[in-house]
Amino acid sequence: MRPLTVIDLFAGCGGMTQGFVDQGFTPVQAVEWNLAAAATYASNFSEDHIYWGDIADFGDDDIPEADVVIGGPPCQGFSNLGSKDVDDPRNQLWKQYLRFVRVAQPSVFVVENVARFSRSAEYQLLHDEVKPGGMIEGYHLESRVLLAADYGVAQRRPRTILIGSRVGRVPLPEPTHSNLPQLGMEPWETVRSRIFGLPERPDTSDLPEMYVEHFGRVLPGEFKARDLHFGRRPKEISLQRYDCVPPGGGRFDLPDELLPNCWRKKATGTTDVMGRMRWDAPSLTIRTEFFKPEKGQYLHPQWEAESSSRRVNRVITHLEASYLQDFPESYKWCGSKVEIAKQIGNAVPVGLASNLAAHLKYYLMRDGGMDVRETGMFADSEVSGV
């Protein structure tokens, strides 16, 4: 039986591809315009099928057939952190995504985006394209905002997932995990399950001096996972601020004398900044600037009220962030510190992508006339909630 194939658009560093590869899919094409992210993808899945460049420059004749097309068109225009401008040119890139769907004719496609996407004008226009005469006429669409923690990811990351199918209705997968014991599901994964046991005090603040060539360009890499476990050099006043913040706390735990003017004048809102994670809960969303505590709840969870020596006063490392995004220890990385942070924060959590891949695989195999439960090709966990 031939392997199922996948095209990943706006592929980033390959988080979504990794989830599909984990479920037996074979990537046949990827597109990514950012050099460092494309290099990371190439380091993990080979350079032979990834196009580094503008998706608009990728010709129709070069688009291969595939069973599934996946991807997340850039979302800054939709994001609560972005411009919220419907005319933002980044919001138009979904049309390039649909061009690939029209040419590749996958049985199923998946669009991943920020939660706000489901309430955008572009989202409604996308729905118009499945109507008679539209770019992807004949596909049936299903969408919902999914919380990554409900699918075994140690992160409370809400994302809009849209599934388009021309092989019959394919619903969104049902949650496999919950924070409500009475529902009878597996409990949410926690920060502890991902980063406990890593050195609390990294012995370096730098990446190793090494380089790799991809696409005829030389850039920093390839870095192994443990190369990403580096710290920062915060100022003394920053360390004093960190020391005041308990697990689950944030800027409102700081005494007045340690508050910067911008926070002293803002008595409400931005509750998660200068926040500390909890060991026994999922993290909040890992964003692209997780290395800055003023950007969210990114302080290391270790903190004990009765023992100042048992407090880890630093932000999480790039390695810890990658583990909270479910990247495997074997993953290789390319780029500068900032570039790798962007890759990690922009990625689809690998665990969520893997859950989606297993869910779609069931429907694709069923459509092919094969009962996957009888063939033994799936573990029970791979068809749960279907």
Same domain as 146, residue 261: no
Instruction: Give the dihedral sign, CA 130/133/136/137.
Output: positive
Q: What are phi and psi of 95, to 5 degrees?
A: -70, -35
Within the chain, what is the greatest distance between any pair of CA atoms? 69
CATH number for the domain that contains residue 236: 3.90.120.10
* CATH assignment at residue 68: 3.40.50.150
75 and 112 inside one domain: yes
Residues 155 and 196 in one domain: no
Q: Which domain holds residue 53?
A: 5-168+348-383
Q: Are residues 26 and 133 in the same domain?
A: yes
Residue 348's identity, in one-letter code, is V
Say if residue 202 is in the same domain as residue 124.
Answer: no
* Number of structural domains found in the chain: 2
> Within a domain: residue 151?
yes
- Number of residues written out for the chain: 386
178 within domain boundaries: no
Asked whether residue 11 falls in the same domain as residue 152, the answer is yes
Cα angle for residues 82, 39, 99 (degrees, 5° grid): 60
Question: Does residue 258 sit in the same domain as residue 322?
Answer: yes
pLDDT on residue 79: 45
Q: Residues 221, 316: one domain? A: yes
Q: Specify the pairing of strand 108-114 against strand 50-52.
A: unpaired
Structure confidence at residue 372 (pLDDT): 39
Annotation says 334 is catalytic: no
Looking at the fold, whether 22 and 73 belong to one and the same domain comes out as: yes
How far is Cα 156 from Cα 385, in angstroms, rounded to an integer?
20
What pLDDT was estimated at residue 87?
A: 55
Instruction: Give pLDDT < 50 ranges for the chain.
Output: 78-84, 86, 369-386
pLDDT for res 83: 45
pLDDT (0 to 100) of residue 368: 53
- How far, in Å, CA of 135 to CA of 75, rounded? 21
Residue 89 is assigned to a structural domain of this protein: yes
Residues 355 and 332 both lie in one domain? no
Q: Which of 75, 244, 262, 334 is catalytic?
A: 75
User: Taking CA 359 as the corner, what is the angle to CA 376 and CA 116, rounded to the nearest 5 degrees?
Assistant: 170
Mark whether 114 and 101 lie in a shared domain. Answer: yes
* DSSP secondary structure code for residue 64 in this structure: P
Q: Which two tokens stand for residue 104?
A: 């590749």
Say yes or no: 329 and 357 in one domain: no
Q: Is residue 322 part of a domain?
A: yes
pLDDT of residue 270: 74
Residue 184 lies in a domain: no
